[in-house]
Amino acid sequence: MQMPEKIYTFSTTDKTTVERLVDQATVRINHLSLASGESIEPHVTREAAHFIVTRGILSLKLNEGAEHTYPEGKIIEVKAGSMLAIANHGNETMHLFVIKTEKL
């Protein structure tokens, strides 16, 4: 018997990882884990996104603004075309889901 749902598995390790979990025409879901002290090179996001912090503390700098921190349990909306820099300055691995919807 075929199950009506589809199951996606994501990493829960303490290593820096970027995983594309869902890649459909209307939604893309990525999982990002950053070990303590790691960062992602600043880049422009071509898609609107929601960042869901599930563990640790996300450090995020958008455009020319100041860097802000967001603990687990926060959802941050980012507009398409934003310059963003992601880092983990905390003591534990940071995990977040990135849900992308609208392309420029």
Average pLDDT of the segment spanning 3-21: 83
Average pLDDT of the segment spanning 6-17: 84
| Contact (Cβ atoms closer than 8 angstroms) between residue 19 and residue 30 | yes
> How far is Cα 87 from Cα 14, in angstroms, rounded to an integer?
15
- Amino acid making up residue 94: M
Tell me the three state secondary structure of residue 26: coil
The DSSP output letter for 86 is E
In this predicted structure, what is the pLDDT of residue 72? 94
Please indicate, yes or no, if residue 85 is contained in any of the structural domains: yes
The DSSP output letter for 95 is E
Q: How far is CA 48 from the centre of its chain?
A: 12
What is the domain count for the chain? 1
Please indicate, yes or no, if residue 79 is contained in any of the structural domains: yes
Tell me the residue range of the domain where 73 lies: 17-103
CATH of the domain at 81: 2.60.120.10
In this predicted structure, what is the pLDDT of residue 70? 96
Please indicate, yes or no, if residue 87 is contained in any of the structural domains: yes
Please indicate, yes or no, if residue 1 is contained in any of the structural domains: no
pTM of the model: 0.84
Please indicate, yes or no, if residue 10 is contained in any of the structural domains: no
